[in-house]
Amino acid sequence: MNNELERFYEVIRQLEAGEIRVAEKTETGWKVNSWIKEVILSGFRLGKMTDMSEGLFSFFDKDTLPPRRFSLEDGIRIVPGGTSVRRGAYLAPSVIMMPPSYVNIGAYIGEGSMVDSHAVVGSCAQVGKHVHLAATCQIGGVLEPAGALPVIIEDDAFIGGGCGIYEGTIIGERAVIGSGVVITRGTPVFDAVNGGYIRPNADGQLVIPAGAVVVSGSRPMTKGPGAAEGIHVYTPVIIKYRDEKTDTSVVLEDALR
């Protein structure tokens, strides 16, 4: 085994153990560890196509990137029914995965979080503690370019069913994203509580404030034929900031854990 491949497998081991992360929070905000992404990308180049088929199902991928295998001692609840986790992803003890769901390489999921049915956590996405990713939601992957910040879902956030969070968007602590909301780096989000639009910061990151409750909305076009026809364009709206009533509506029953 050459030195580059040895380094790749060591970094994968460290990612799975939670010893290193693709992105981490600092006093000034989130920063990406681009060197880890570069090592992950080397695994695609160094790997050779191999047959990973099991039973009646056919799977073919690079031999450096097989599905991750867990043991009972890992303390992760993975319900039968088609769920898969790729090597190089970290799942903390007490994480719950409902079938079918998928977590890609480089992702991080904190303790007590739930990945619900048909939810996907993309490559290098960072999901905090006690987060609920509801059914069919998509947390986008950002593997390239290596310096780009991945999608980040901070602690105690709730991402509703059918949501899509993409392109390095940051969802602040305890935020609630209502069902069907799609947010990308270029999506203007209107704050109906404080007024004004939330747009990407100087680092190109769209940050949803802590505790914000976001639902789907629209705004009228102001120019061209669309304005004359009364056409509206999609705009997520912050309708409130989280309070006791909101907390009650997003609580997961302890019995499910």
Task: Judge whether residue 250 has pLDDT over 70.
Answer: no
Hey, what long-range contacts does 252-256 have (CB within 8 A, 24 or more apart)? 252/114, 252/132, 256/96
Percent over 70 (pLDDT), the chain: 95
CB atoms inside a 10 Å sphere around CB 244: 6
On the CB side of 247, CA atoms within 13 Å amount to 7
**Residue 174 pLDDT exceeds 80:** yes
| Whole-number pLDDT of residue 226 | 86
Q: Which helix (H) or strand (E) holds 228?
A: helix 224-228
Instruction: Extract the tokens encoding 58.
Output: 């056919």
Q: What pLDDT, on the 0 to 100 scale, is given for residue 254? A: 52
Q: Give percent of the chain above pLDDT 90.
A: 83
24-28, 43-47, 153-157: the lowest-pLDDT one: 24-28
At 253 the pLDDT is 45
Architecture of domain 3-47+81-187: 3 Solenoid (2.160)
Which tokens belong to 256?
């499910």
Confidence bin at 244 (pLDDT 50/70/90): confident
pTM (two decimals): 0.93
Residue 32 clears pLDDT 60, i.e. is over it: yes
